[in-house]
Amino acid sequence: MLARERAHVFHSWSAQNHIAPMVIAGGQGSYVWDPSGKRYLDFSSQLVNTNIGHQHPRVVAAIKAQADILCTVAPQHANDRRGEAAELIAELAPAGMNKVFFTNAGAEAVEHACRMARLHTGRPKLLAAYRSYHGATTTAINLTGDARRWQSDTGTAGVVHFFGPFLYRSVFNARTEEEECERALAHLADVIAFEGPETIAALVLEAIPGTAGIMPPPQGYLAGVRELCSRHGIVYIADEVMAGFGRAGAWFAVDNWGVVPDLITFAKGVTSGYVPLGGVIISDPIAATFGERVYPGGLTYSGHPLACATAVATMRAMRDEGIVENAARVGQTVLGPGLRELAARHPSVGDVRGIGVFWCAELVSDRAAKTPVDGAVMNDVVRSCKALGLLPFTAANRVHVVPPCIIDEGQARAGLEMLDQALSVADRAVSR
């Protein structure tokens, strides 16, 4: 399997000659296993998308049943699964958001949300945070604030970046969450003023930044963003691709702060990754813009029947089995307290933060200076985790604790115990 993979598969975000992909032979619930049968507790949810875990029987059955009825249909035709999926998503969304445009994935959702906003407002510019990731297509990668943007940034996408709140590494010299929130909003207001509000179509913001660091916003920040956008006629696009569908202990992460955006992008958890699907949830005023005016965009597989059947089964299973509530409970009772306890004992843990089943531990070699550990240390931590039977998700100097939303308290504790042992590797870097 590995020989075939190395010979013919071109891997994303990788130097092709320096990768050794792990072979996953199967999975069930919160676990995966390799061809030898060794099991791993999946603390990565793959790419933070298998929210209902692996091989959920109701969802697998729904895929099989739909395949027997209709595998594909062109998007110009109505289809019962697409209509049902859109209805369920609209019911979960904030009031006044009743239309859904389906895409294949999150990056396309962001692309179309930005197109809608530009056409709705007649304005060219987009605002996005520096610590962010929005996808790898042209507009999405230019919106992305972290270093993954640099090699693809042409400087012509009309994107202006700003700093969002992040107290642990505050650029505002804040000492409290309240100060960080106040100063971050003042900074954003200044950026809007100096860019010219009448030139800005949309502000694109991850409700909780994902691969950029899992930084839940301070209380009041998202409400302040909403107010600024409303004041200046800027479309507020909430990127919920990673944080949505239970990951943050709510159907949408913005629900934790009671904020209503103008557009919501989603993907990943809507099908738990079983079949690719993404989309844009559209507020009534923006949908009305295209009531008589043609929306200039579409996809061959928009609202694909297999994908929409998967989404319907996923959402119904999450609702019926209390999976969103479970994610909130496990985060509050196990992951949050457990990670804070690890931070108290391990000198390599500089900060822990999160909500629901969306957490990270930031590893440092010097707590006072907040110096990130290097890549070699992170590689050693990953190797240690895997040897113990834990499949982690890492980014930069962080271990992201992002198990499936179905994980139970015992499994969560077992995962933290394995992480506890693996962190001894990073602790040794502190003394060097």
What DSSP string describes 120-152?
HH---EEEEESS----SSHHHHHH--SGGGGGG
How confident is the model at residue 431, as a pLDDT? 63
Q: Cβ contacts of residue 206 below 8 Å, gap of 6+?
A: 129, 132, 133, 134, 212, 238, 239, 240, 241, 242, 243
Q: How far apart are CA 190 and CA 162, in angstroms?
A: 10
Tell me the pTM: 0.96
Q: Which amino acid is at 22?
A: M
Q: Are 214 and 238 in contact (CB under 8 A)?
A: no
Phi first, then psi: give them for residue 186, nearest 5 degrees: -65, -40
Q: Which fold has domain 57-320?
A: Aspartate Aminotransferase; domain 2 (3.40.640)
Which residues of the chain are in CATH 3.90.1150.10 domains? 2-55+322-430
pLDDT in tens, 2-36: 888 888 999 998 898 888 889 999 999 999 999 99
Q: Where are the alpha helices (DSSP H) in 26-78?
A: 45-48, 57-69
**Angle made by CA atoms 35, 37, 40, in degrees to the nearest 5:** 100
- Average pLDDT by consecutive 10-residue portion of the chain (432 residues)? 85 88 95 97 98 98 98 95 98 97 98 98 98 95 92 89 98 98 98 98 97 97 98 98 98 98 98 98 98 96 97 98 98 98 97 98 96 96 97 97 98 98 94 58
The answer to whether residues 404 and 51 touch, using CB atoms and an 8 Å cutoff, is: yes
Domain 2-55+322-430 has CATH 3.90.1150.10: yes
For the chain, where do the domains classified as CATH 3.40.640.10 start and end?
A: 57-320
Q: Output the CA–CA distances (angstroms, integers) from residue 342 to 180, 210, 413, 423, 432, in the order listed.
A: 25, 21, 12, 9, 21
Query: Is the distance from CB of 268 to CB of 51 less than 8 angstroms?
Result: yes
